[in-house]
Amino acid sequence: MSAATLSPATDPAAVQRLIDRFAELSTTPADQGVTRLGYSALEREAHAVFAAHMESLGLPVRTDAAGNSFASLAGTGNLPALATGSHLDSVPRGGRYDGVAGVVAAMLAATALSSRDEPPSHPMEFVVFANEEGARFGQACNGSRALAARIGRDDLDRLHDADHVTLAQAMAEVGLDPDRIDEARLDPADWAAFLELHIEQGNILAERGIQLGVVDTISGSTRFRLVVHGVPSHSGGTPMNRRVDALVVASRIVLAARTLATDARHHGTRITVGRMVVGPNSMTTIPGRVELAVDVRDTDPARQRDAANELVAEATGIAEQEGAHLDAELISDASPTVLPARVTAASQAAIAELGYSHIVMASGASHDTQLMNLICPAGMIFVPSGNGGVSHAPREWTAAPDIARGVDALIATLLRLDRAPSPDGGAA
């Protein structure tokens, strides 16, 4: 079947309208990217836009204790649900597409599936996960973590943002009760499969002229905070050989991280120091304290953990050489995820039937799919990222027709999973 014969094929103009609508919800002006942090009032407003769209289709919407939103389409069978969705929070000064593309896809899939003459056998769940980005609290995927019972009440007090607002406080500020977080837990018996559409956030698809990616592996991440304690002192009075400059130590650590991630043993390890807080951050005082946030990613779990441990050991050595002291604190540690063939195979077959080109590929970024895969078989469809694959930045961009093709593939995969016999031989 060619794409042209598909009915109904997703309208790129409908995709663009929804992308633009969500992009309006930002604390930064359009030319400085989108800022809609997790557990902020704007994130809740974005969830309300999703809810209004779903309610206009006649789908009931609920919000759970973690702030995840769900819209349900009834199925004809007594079966567990097929679910799809993504997130609506952003990094500071991020793009318009990360997470949003997958939510828009879920909204348009709901529009298409709820208007079909033949309803699905499985109920369909359309979901927006709360607070996916690790940018604010260090740990990624908090909403989906709650569904998978991978975050507890204690974590909500432990994790905090740069202003020392804890996750629990941020949740309470938007009307959620952190004491009820355990109630968000999803019964694995309730979902048969989960599928997320997302922008690639890299340049492989665009560079190779491929329309879609089917993800088979998602990178893990180990994140930690390093604090370098030097000696603050006068920038003019202190001779160069009498200094313990915490920023010099931190700079050497950043360079050591790059050397480590690019040595011959690390094909694919990515290490980023994305945040540094210099104290007292005054032009005429030698920096006495520097805090670094370090993010180590890999698709190989052993290499990921070894690289993180090696970097901490090396950073400790650098601090000692410079007469400084180093504290290291683990913020979060997530393993890479291998996605099950059941869902990837369904996506590949659906995409082939649509007549679109695709490759099977790994994801460098983290996704809620990793947590959903702990509950039920999960998969991801990538659409190409334009502008050289830039993401988490204002220039993040994907053409609406490229997303529309992804939505076609998402719907076709859900319908294929709806028809597929269950792996245990039951009616699903």
- Contact window for Mn ion (CB under 5 A) among 62-70, 131-139, 313-321, 395-403: 131-139
**Cα 15 off chain centre by:** 20
User: Binding string to Mn ion for residues 47 to 86, with x set by CB under 5 A, is what?
Assistant: ----------------------------------------
- Tell me which residue of 350, 95, 305, 12 sits closest to 214, measured CA to CA: 350
Nearer to Mn ion, 99 or 379 (CB): 99
Q: Which is nearer to Mn ion, 90 or 114 (CB)?
A: 90
Choosing among ligand GLV, Mn ion, none, which partner's interface includes residue 402 (Cβ < 5 to 8 Å by kind)?
none
Alpha-helical (H) ranges within 148-287 are 153-158, 167-173, 204-208, 246-261
Least separation, in Å, of the C-beta of 91 and ligand GLV? Answer: 7
Residue 291: its H or E element: strand 289-298
CB under 5 to 8 A by kind: which of Mn ion, ligand GLV, none does 38 bind?
A: none
Decide: 347 and 359 in contact? Cβ < 8 Å. Answer: no
Contact between 365 and ligand GLV per CB under 6 A = yes
Site for ligand GLV in 138-157 (CB under 6 A): 140
- At closest approach, how far in Å is the CB of 299 from ligand GLV? 13
Could you say which of Mn ion, ligand GLV, none residue 134 binds, taking C-beta under 5 to 8 angstroms by partner kind?
A: ligand GLV
Q: Is 366 in the site for ligand GLV (CB under 6 A)?
A: yes
Which residue number, 84 or 366, has a Cβ lying nearer to ligand GLV?
366
Least gap, CB of 133 to ligand GLV (angstroms):
5
Would you give the DSSP letter of residue 190? G
3-state secondary structure of 204: helix
Nearest to 80 by CA among 426, 411, 347, 408: 426
From the CB of 225, what's the least distance to ligand GLV, in Å? 16
Number of residues in contact with ligand GLV, rule: CB under 6 A? Answer: 5
Task: Report the DSSP beta bridge partners of residue 125.
Answer: 72, 83
What string of DSSP letters covers 380-413? Answer: EEEE---GGG--SSTT----HHHHHHHHHHHHHH
Decide if residue 99 touches Mn ion (CB under 5 A). Answer: yes
* Preceding peptide of 8 cis, ω within 30°: yes
- Return the number of the residue (88 or 174) whose C-beta is nearest Mn ion: 88
The option from Mn ion, ligand GLV, none interacting with 89 (CB < 5 to 8 A, set by class) reads: none
Q: Answer whether 148's CB lies under 8 Å from 108's CB.
A: no
Q: Is 82 in the site for ligand GLV (CB under 6 A)?
A: no
| Burial of 9 (C-beta count, 10 Å sphere; 0-12/13-18/19+) | middle
Residue 406 in contact with ligand GLV, rule: CB under 6 A = no
| 317's tokens | 């050595």
Identify which range of 77-85, 96-104, 238-246, 288-296 contacts Mn ion by CB under 5 A.
96-104
Beta pairing partners, 218? 337, 363
Compare residues 35 and 114 and give the one whose CB is closer to ligand GLV.
35
| DSSP helix/strand/coil, 264 | coil
Residue nearest to ligand GLV (CB): 365
Contact present, 322 and 313 (Cβ < 8 Å): no
The neighbouring-strand residues paired with 124 are 73, 82
**Span 121-140, contacts to ligand GLV by CB under 6 A:** 133-134, 140
Nearer to Mn ion, 99 or 230 (CB): 99
**For residue 296, how far is the Cα from the chain centroid?**
15
Token output for 254 = 């950043």
Q: Of 348, 354, 344, 353, which is closest to residue 9 (Cα–Cα)? A: 354
Minimum CB distance to ligand GLV, residue 99 (Å): 8
CB nearer ligand GLV, residue 88 or residue 140: 140
Which does residue 140 touch among Mn ion, ligand GLV, none (CB within 5 to 8 A, set by kind)? Answer: ligand GLV
Cβ 248 to ligand GLV, closest distance in Å? 29
Give Rg (Cα) of the chain. 23
Which residues here bind ligand GLV, judged by CB under 6 A?
Answer: 133-134, 140, 365-366
Which residues here bind Mn ion, judged by CB under 5 A?
Answer: 98-99, 133
